[in-house]
Chain A
Amino acid sequence: MPFIQLEPSQVHYQLEGEPGRPVITFLNGLTQNANLWKSYADYFVPRGYRVLAYDMLGQGRSSKPIIDIKLTAHADLLAQLLTRLEIEATHLVSISFGGIIALDFAIRHGTRLRSLTVMSTFAELTPQLEFLGTVMLRGLAEVGMPYLQSMLYPMNMSSAWIAANRERIPAMMRAGYIGNDGYAMQNLMESFVEFKPLTPDLHRITAPTLIMNGEFDFFTPRECHELIRREVANSRLLIVQHAYHAFTLELPAVTMRQLEVFITQVDDGSWQGDRSVWVAADDPAADVQWLPCASDWMRAVQPGTPEPAKRAPARKAPSRKKAQ
């Protein structure tokens, strides 16, 4: 993967596909890196796209500022990177921490977007997220990187995935420990101290916007995505069935298919951003990929109408006769 020097930072990136094709740029979450989008490049490049993935500041092989880093620096860096790579506009796909950066980019550099996809993310810190963030930062600072890694697995993945990958997890954690620097992660997390809610500016996002949320994502639950849906007029909310926070890793085939459906709609002009809510098909090969959401998407249970109470049969008055 090549490097590019964008003052004052060095950025490690991968750009695949022929020049002139529509570009899809991927933004990763905390403790991730550009390599995790490799399978997405393998999927989209043969379908006629150009795919850009890069290690965000503080991650992977890109510069890892330690003294200070502003959240806005990430979106500005992306704008610089696109300019240097002579990419005028891009489809932007993002998850979790990358989603916040993507929202900021869409607000301040929106003219450079063909479309926006934000997955498992938030525009402001809900009280739950504020607490979780504080606990994660304390864990990282007081116990160390392995503790944060151990904490993130159950927050990101389903029990089924953990059970199926239990043998591989120590090696995966070791690779994560080598590839991530605790101090850089800490600096990224501390940058949230100055985080101002993006919600008041979300209405400025005009690009076609797909908001994706795992059905069972308890890290960034539905309320975080609902807030974005309400504020972005040209959006749709798509709920990924049976998914947790990191469904790009756990359900890549489903995720790629949904992205393909969305980006195709945008490119062929059939996209309708109407703030509607949909459910992603479980099967990437299904003819219909987006199913209408038939119930209250904010609820985890759908209470039914109570049946009318049946009248209990009248009891006989107890006999005073003694048993013979």
Chain B
Amino acid sequence: MIDPKHYDQARDRIALAGFTPEIQTKIALLLTTTKNGNLIFHSGVQWMRNLNVVQQFILSQYSRELEAVTLLSRTTQWSRDPGLAMEGSRILAPLVMAWGQIMMPPGPMLNPQAAYRGISLGHAQLARIRLAPVIPESADPLDPFVVALQRIEQENGRMLQTQIRLLKSMGADVPIDEREAQVEADQKLVDGVFNDFLQWLAAP
């Protein structure tokens, strides 16, 4: 569970300072790191055997994550402070490590458990990392960075539909309780990272 006060503090900070290059960089680091993890995973499983119609969904998810990363990278006013990248890496390390475990040889294409874990972690990221609530009401709705955030958030909702379908249809040989437990564990992992991130975002 994300503590609502962290959203409030981050939004208040942005309302006060505006979308500075530092703030934009923090947000872009979070989103590009998580989305890169998910898109590399999707590129890794798109040639799994017996995917049938699911292959098209996986290719579609891959493309949409790629679009989001590209859109954000182009609209962000990047800070030149390397300290931000270092601190961002520290906060995001649990997710980077989780994606690393999933992609570890033989890789999700040949490891159904890792494939299911990847779908579950991708779902948790799309479901729990929500940035629309940190956009202050005073923000210019036509600001390119704000537009990009809104579009990405909206698209995340649609991508989530595919992740839900994949979670429901894949891994049928694993008992439901085990699958639910995996999904819940990944949500807790993402919540922990996102709580830390929001506090970082709120910090001056």
B167 touching A178, Cβ below 8 Å: no
A61 touches B133 (CB 8 A): no
Among B55-63, B89-97, B103-111, B177-185, the stretch in contact with A: B177-185
Q: Are B164 and A183 in contact (CB under 8 A)?
A: yes
Identify A183's interface contact among B132, B133, B160, B181, CB under 8 A.
B160
Residue A145 interfacial (CB < 8 Å): yes
Of the residues A8, A67, A181, contact of B168 by C-beta under 8 Å: A67
Interface of A is mostly: helix
Q: Which residues of the other chain, A, contact B123 by a CB distance below 8 angstroms?
A: 66, 183
| A42 interfacial contact with B, CB 8 Å | no
A7: shortest Cβ distance to chain B, in Å?
A: 8
B4: chain A residues at CB < 8 Å are 175, 178-179
Q: In the assembly, what is the distance between CA of A8 and CA of B160, in Å?
A: 24
Q: Tell me the complex Cα distance, A63–B180, Å.
A: 10
Shortest CB-to-CB span from A96 to chain B, Å, is: 23
| Chain A residues within 8 Å of B154, by CB | 144
A178 near B130 with CB under 8 A, answer: yes
Chain B interface, DSSP helix/strand/loop, else mixed: helix
Residues A8 and B2 in contact, CB atoms below 8 Å apart = no
The reply to whether B127 and A181 form a contact with Cβ atoms under 8 Å apart is yes
User: Chain A residues with Cβ under 8 A from B161's Cβ?
Assistant: 141-142
Q: How far is the CA of A67 from the CA of B187 in the complex (A)?
A: 14
- CB of B157 closer than 8 Å to a CB of A: yes
Per the CB 8 Å criterion, the residue count for chain A at the interface is 25
* Interface membership of A174, Cβ < 8 A: yes
Contact B133 A66, beta carbon cutoff 8 Å: no
Complex CA distance for A187 and B163, rounded to whole angstroms: 13
Q: Is the CB of A178 within 8 A of B7?
A: yes
The complex places the Cα of A142 from the Cα of B154 at a distance, in Å, of: 10
Name the A residues within 8 Å of B127 (CB-CB).
Answer: 181-183
Encoded as 1 (CB less than 8 Å from any B CB) or 0, chain A from 168 to 187 comes to 00100011011101110011
- Distance from A77 Cβ to chain B, minimum over Cβ atoms (Å): 14
Residues of chain B with a CB closer than 8 A to A223's CB: none
A73 to B130, CA, bound (A): 29
- From A8, which residue of chain B is reached at the shortest CB distance? B177
In the complex, B137 has a CB within 8 A of chain A: yes
26 chain-A/chain-B pairs, Cβ below 8 angstroms: A61-B1, A64-B184, A64-B187, A65-B180, A66-B164, A66-B167, A66-B168, A66-B180, A67-B176, A67-B180, A68-B168, A68-B176, A141-B161, A144-B158, A146-B132, A170-B137, A177-B130, A177-B132, A177-B133, A178-B2, A178-B133, A179-B4, A182-B127, A182-B160, A183-B123, A187-B164
